[in-house]
């Protein structure tokens, strides 16, 4: 006999509202539908009534976890339309902030994943290390989220020599606990039993559905905007793109854990080779010239795209935000089929969903 099991819109394992309707036979999910739209705030419309400085504040509120990613990508669009060249030091500081944000995001997600499967000691261990990253971001920017580090034409805050040395020391300090976390993730029986073979997305299906970011890389799709289409200062750094092939929840954990090493590597290179010179062109309000620009950034969850249309006024004529969760959410019903109801919350969470980004 078939049953319909609703998950959400509010669910204890998911911090944001989503509604998944599971069609089951016993404990096995035979089909599923996913409904979104509970967080709509009209941010793209609001942006047409604001100038570029006000919009930086606005787009940071699309999502707290990847707030810098949105400000970074929007600023690149305005700078492209206006022909603004960001000083090299400003680009390096933007990249350092972006990679610290990636560490923060991946630690947060890995902790939540462990909490969902009932491994709360691991959850607390991972979030304890996340606090170090949060403290670094707070010292750099004054905030633990919504960092306000981007201005049109560069970075709003500099990194002095004392902070640079402390950031480098923190990257060294972070490596040992990260080694421990990766060792547990790879070898713990509880994690393996709850994640291996669960929620499989094959490479073919990932390509067909347009998955991006760590979600796609866990299915063997070797893509990363930072490497494939270098922007800002990313072309100056050497790093690897971790890719797994099984496409299950376990590989999604592994990919994100391994990406933390690459973020540390990029941060170290940027700090050791931080250029001299200005960090911005002055915090001044600019008119957005007539034109259209589309820029992409490899946010923690995957490819983030912003489109900005200017009409020569101070305000945006139009902006459009295309987020990673928009691309990854269609894979959820496919991954749910054939799994059990008990794994549904974990499978939904395994794409690292941000429904505030998705709905905007």
pLDDT in tens, 190-219: 888 888 989 899 999 999 999 999 999 999
**Is it the case that residue 13 has pLDDT exceeding 80?**
no
Per domain, the residue ranges of the chain are: 41-337
What number is the average pLDDT over the span 248-263? Answer: 93
How would residue 88 be classed by pLDDT, with cut points 50, 70 and 90? very high
pLDDT, tens only, 290-345: 999 999 999 999 999 999 999 999 999 999 999 998 899 889 889 999 888 888 88
pLDDT higher than threshold 70 for residue 271: yes
Torsion, Cα of 343, 346, 351, 357 (10° steps): 120
For the cut 90, the answer to whether the pLDDT of residue 10 exceeds it is: no
| Region 12-33 average pLDDT | 81
Helices (H), the chain: 43-47, 52-60, 67-82, 88-116, 120-141, 161-187, 189-195, 203-209, 213-217, 225-228, 249-272, 324-328, 331-336, 344-349, 355-359
Distances (CA, A) of 143 to 67, 140, 350: 11, 8, 27
- Residue 54 has which token pair? 């006000």
- Please tell me the predicted confidence (pLDDT) of residue 14: 63
pLDDT value, residue 269: 95
335 Cβ contact partners less than 8 Å away, ≥ 6 residues apart = 199, 200, 201, 347, 350
Pairing of strands 154-155, 150-151: antiparallel
% of the chain exceeding 90 in pLDDT: 61
Q: From the CB of residue 89, how many other CB atoms can be counted at a distance below 10 Å?
A: 20
**What band does 29 get if pLDDT is binned at 50, 70 and 90?**
confident
Residue 12: per-residue pLDDT: 60
pLDDT at 354: 82
Q: What CATH number labels 41-337?
A: 1.10.645.10
* 225-238 per-position pLDDT tens digit: 999 999 999 999 99
CA–CA separation, 279 and 158 (whole Å): 7
Mean pLDDT of the chain: 90
Q: Looking at residues 149-167, what average pLDDT do you find?
A: 93
Q: Residue 345's pLDDT is what?
A: 84
Q: What per-residue confidence (pLDDT) applies to 15? A: 66
Residue 325 and residue 301 in contact, taking contact as beta carbons nearer than 8 Å: yes
Q: Please compute the mean of the pLDDT values over residues 261-278 and round it to a whole number.
A: 94
- Percent of the chain whose predicted confidence (pLDDT) is above 70: 98
pLDDT band at 153 (very low <50, low <70, confident <90, very high): very high
pLDDT at 238: 94
What is the pLDDT at residue 161? 92
């Amino acid at each position: 006999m078939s049953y319909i099991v609703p998950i959400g819109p509010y669910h204890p394992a998911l911090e944001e509202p989503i509604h998944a309707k599971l069609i089951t036979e016993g404990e096995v999910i035979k089909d599923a539908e996913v409904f979104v739209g509970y967080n709509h705030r009209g941010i793209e419309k609001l942006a047409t009534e604001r100038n570029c400085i006000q919009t930086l504040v606005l787009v940071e509120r699309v999502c707290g976890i990847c707030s810098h990613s949105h400000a970074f990508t929007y600023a690149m669009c305005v700078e492209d339309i206006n022909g603004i060249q960001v000083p090299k030091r400003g680009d390096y500081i933007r990249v350092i902030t972006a990679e610290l944000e990636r560490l923060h995001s991946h630690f947060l997600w890995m902790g939540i994943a462990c909490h969902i499967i009932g491994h709360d000691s691991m959850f607390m261990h991972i979030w304890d290390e996340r606090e170090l990253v949060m403290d670094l971001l707070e010292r750099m920017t004054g905030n633990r989220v919504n960092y306000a580090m981007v201005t049109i034409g560069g970075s709003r805050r500099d990194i002095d020599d004392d902070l640079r040395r402390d950031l480098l020391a923190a990257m060294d300090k972070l490596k040992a606990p990260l080694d421990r976390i990766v060792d547990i993730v790879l070898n713990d029986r509880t994690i393996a039993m709850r994640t291996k073979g669960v929620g499989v997305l094959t490479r073919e299906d990932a390509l067909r559905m347009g998955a991006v970011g760590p979600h796609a890389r866990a299915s063997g799709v070797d893509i990363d905007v930072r490497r494939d289409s270098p922007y800002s200062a990313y072309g100056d750094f050497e790093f690897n793109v971790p890719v797994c092939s099984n496409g299950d929840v376990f590989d999604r954990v592994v990919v994100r854990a391994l990406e933390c090493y690459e973020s540390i590597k990029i941060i170290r290179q940027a700090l050791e080779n931080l250029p001299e010179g200005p960090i911005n062109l002055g915090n001044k309000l600019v008119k957005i010239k007539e034109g259209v620009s589309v820029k992409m950034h490899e946010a923690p969850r995957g490819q983030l795209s912003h489109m900005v249309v200017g009409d020569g006024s101070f305000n945006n004529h139009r902006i459009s935000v295309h987020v990673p969760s928009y691309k990854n959410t269609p894979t959820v019903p496919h991954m749910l089929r054939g799994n059990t109801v008990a794994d549904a919350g974990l499978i939904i969470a395994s794409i690292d969903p941000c429904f505030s980004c998705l709905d905007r």
